[in-house]
Amino acid sequence: MSIFARIAEAKIQDGIERGDFDALPGHGRPLQLDDMSGVPSHLRLGYKILRNAGVAPPEVELRREQYRLDREIATTSDPGALAELRTRRRDSDLSLALMLERRAGAAGPRAVRSLRQRRGR
């Protein structure tokens, strides 16, 4: 253990003995940690910044778009509009698959295969 870790540990222990941590919010309850285990390590910081700014990662935005298009397709009866929506849905599928393939080096090709299996390809 480094000297800095020992100093920090000693200061924390002193604070515990003095009761400095007894009045903290959430005292006695488990910590709510962010589970980012599914995100490649080199993307975690960027995802955390996006989340804190209230912005979703690009693949989440694409999946939201796909869901919205699916709902519109289900409720549209106009053949011209339906063809346009289906084209946009296919484009969205392609964009997501390309994004996942670009990240396959970090996330692995399993993510791309699972997308294809869900889409029935």
pLDDT tens for each residue of 66-99: 999 999 999 999 999 999 999 999 999 998 888 8
Residue 29 lies in a domain: no
pLDDT computed for residue 90 by the predictor: 93
- Which amino acid would we find at residue 4? F
Condensed to tens digits (0 to 9), the pLDDT of residues 1-41 reads: 789 889 999 999 998 899 888 888 887 788 777 777 777 78
Residue 36 lies in a domain: no
Residue 39 lies in a domain: no
Residue 10 burial (CB < 10 Å; 0-12/13-18/19+)? exposed
Q: What pTM did the predictor assign?
A: 0.49
Place of tokens 């889409």: 119
Residue 86 lies in a domain: yes
Structure tokens at 69: 């298009």
Q: How many domains does the chain have?
A: 1
Structure tokens at 62: 């694409």
Residue 89 lies in a domain: yes
Residue 13 lies in a domain: no
**Rounded to whole angstroms, how far apart are CA atoms 87 and 105?**
29
